[in-house]
Amino acid sequence: MFVSTTAGFIDAAPTLIWIVRLPTCSTIANAIFASRENYASAIARARPLIESLPSRESVAFLCKPFIQPCEGKRNWLVWGTKFWHFLNPEAFPIEDSRVDSFFKLAWNQDPVKRYLVMMHAFREFALTHEAWVPALRAADEDFSSVNKLWDKVFFGVRGATGWAKVMKWPPGSWTLNSCMP
Mind listing the pLDDT tens digit for each residue in 92-107? 999 988 888 888 888 7
181 pLDDT more than 60: no
Report whether 138 contacts 79 (CB < 8 A): no
Q: DSSP secondary-structure letter at 157?
A: G
Question: Closest by alpha carbon to 48, among 3, 85, 13, 76?
Answer: 85
Strand, coil or helix: 74: coil
* pLDDT mean over 121-146: 84
Q: Rounded to an integer, what distance in angstroms lies between the CA atom of residue 144 and that of residue 86?
A: 11
Strand, coil or helix: 130: helix
Q: 162: left (phi > 0), else alpha (psi -120 to 50), else beta?
A: left
Q: Model confidence at 10, in pLDDT bands (50, 70, 90)? A: very low
